[in-house]
Structure 1
Amino acid sequence: MTTDPRWIDEHGHEIDEDHRGLVYDIRTLVDRRRALGLFGGVGVTALLAACSSPESDPTASAVPTATPTATPSPSPSASAAASGPLDEVPDETGGPYPGDGSNGVNVLDDSGIVRSDIRSSFGSSSTVAAGVPLTIALTVRDAATGSALVGAGVYLWHCDRDGNYSLYSRGVEGENYLRGVQETDSAGTVRFTSIYPACYSGRWPHIHFEVYSDVANAVASGPIVKTSQLALPGEVNDLVYATSGYEQSVRNLAQTSLARDNVFGDDGGIHQIASMSGSVAGGYTAALTIGV
């Protein structure tokens, strides 16, 4: 009789009956975490092997103990090789303040826009945006294959601690801080040094980005491969907004939710919620892998 393929492990061995329930649970967990993009350093194969291998110690814990911390930001040495298909990040609006020439001002052709530290304005102003430090790490992959998109151009922007967008909002029209372009590295990753954005009225805390085929197309306002947004998780929002300077964000956040947000509300931002690490005192890292 042919063995049900659900009970065959990664080595081709039949999993004994005592371990089948655990394997089913782990594979269910794997599927869910794949959908949410939450796996960090623990490999899927290793996780399954730990509970299904005939040679494993039956008295040992079958599942590695997970710590309640967020997935760390992508490693610079991460492989660019195909990792298998992943869900494409949803297309979202660039909003009314893109600064890419589609709604008035165009900052993309300004000298100085290609940079990793976006906290300060460049050109005629050197104003530095204040706020809790935030590193934003985006890893761009081909949704069909999982391969890292090396050399892609990423333009990223967001509001400041007061909920204002440089170039557009009253009082900061002459600033261009919290905007920048970078090229993805050999792992398909870009990292921006920034500050934690506010929660302004009517929107869940978020960060905008556009993906281009390369930096040359980005700074020339060429064809956009993907326009989307990153959502910041509620538990970290609460911690950051309890600090000085973010007082109005506390009120605004209390009046909205991911489910009611006009961008993330359709699916609760399942493919756009960043994995977080760090602290208020030391700064946070928001990491997200996106399929395009």
Structure 2
Amino acid sequence: MATDPRWIDEHGNEIDEDHRGLVYDIRTLVDRRRALGIFGGIGATALLAACAGPDTSSTASATATDASTPSASATPSASASAAASGPVTEVPDETGGPYPGDGSNGVNVLDDSGIVRSDIRSSFGSSTTVAQGVPLTIALTVRDAATGSALVGAGVYLWHCDREGGYSLYSNGLANENYLRGVQETDATGTVRFTSIYPACYTGRWPHIHFEVYSDVANAVASGPIVKTSQIALPQEVNDLVYATSGYEQSVRNVAQVSLASDNVFGDDGGIHQIATMSGSVASGYTAALTIGV
């Protein structure tokens, strides 16, 4: 995995990561990882994977919307494992866009207590506003591109726009909101799951979700070196169904004016390595799953 070039000095050496403290709400997370002896190790976690229970962190009920729309589903990816599966394609590097909230363009939400969470629908801190929309679970599995091994204990920061196409912290009227942003640690299969809502399609961009991968959660909340910045593309068939529901009217117009091939991020290869596998329905909510190599 390549080190973020911002953290390489003029001699080609990686800059030390001293003095990067942790926010209070991940101290117990780090302590648990130390206790298990899996800080940076994959072998031990592979042994633990067989004993791990199902992940229930993102099973909270999501806000219901128009239940009359027919469903569209696809066969989800096979269950992930921590074992090496051979080389996998590295996901393309993409822009974090103008609204990252990671300190690279103004505001930094990563050092806020509360950012480490699985349900990202609501703001935290001074606001408790909940983003409305068709329920969406985002399951992102992170693997070492060279070996196919699951990256256990990596930190993933994920964010996207709301049903109206606005980004918390940046868009008009949303400067005091921080919903639809969160950080999680990958589990024994290299997977994080976020409970969210389906994002809008706004002018000039194909429907998408942003993410950054860090070596661990400690580096994520300290704005440490980024291992990978990329985006998830949402497939047209599900976009069409979701955008036919109440609240997404402007997305119908916007998505008709863009395609994967013309998108300024996914256009080079049509997003072939970034298109999520979808399952579910408008009535019950969707799951968007993607396995990436870094």
- What is the TM-score normalised by the length of structure 2? 0.75
1:265 equivalent to 2:261? Answer no
SS at match of 1:287: strand
Letter of the 1:206 counterpart: H
**Aligned counterparts of 1:81 and 1:184: Cα–Cα separation in 2:** 14
Letter in 1 for 2:162: D
Q: Within 5 Å, which residues of 2 pair with 1:18-97?
A: 69-72=73-76, 75=79, 78-97=80-99
Contact persistence 2:73–2:280 (CA under 8 A): no
- Indicate the residue corresponding to 1:106 in structure 2: 108
- What residue ranges of structure 2 are gaps of 5+ in the alignment? 1-71
- Greater RCO, CA 8 A, separation 6+: 2
| Matched pairs, number | 223
Taking the TM superposition and a 5 Å limit, the aligned residue runs for 1:245-264 are 245-264=247-266
Task: Please give the secondary structure, in 2, of the residue aligned with 1:239.
Answer: helix
The corresponding residue for 2:60 is: none
- Matched residue type, 2:262: R
**What 5-or-longer segments of structure 1 have no aligned partner?**
1-67
- Give the match for residue 190 of structure 1: 192
What is the TM-score when the length of structure 1 is the normalising length?
0.75
Q: Which runs of 4+ in 1 moved over 3 A?
A: none
Question: In the alignment, what sits opposite 1:148?
Answer: 150
User: Are the aligned partners of 1:73 and 1:286 in contact in 2 as well (CA < 8 Å)?
Assistant: no
Q: Following the alignment from structure 2 to structure 1, what is the Cα–Cα distance between the partners of residues 252 and 75? A: 25
Shift in Å, 1:70: 1.6
Shift of residue 84 of structure 1? 0.7
Q: Which amino acid aligns with 1:214?
A: D
Shift of 1:69: 4.3
**Partner of residue 118, structure 2:** 116
Partner residue, 2:278: 276
Secondary structure class of the residue paired with 2:252: helix
Question: What secondary structure does 1:135 align onto?
Answer: strand
Distance of 2:243 and 2:214 partners within structure 1: 33
Percent identity, aligned pairs only, is 90
- Indicate how the Cα distance of structure 1 residues 124 and 221 shifts in structure 2: closer, same or farther if over 3 A, else same: same
**Aligned partners of 2:105, 2:230: CA distance in 1, in Å?**
16
| Native 8 Å contact 1:116 1:191 kept in 2 | yes
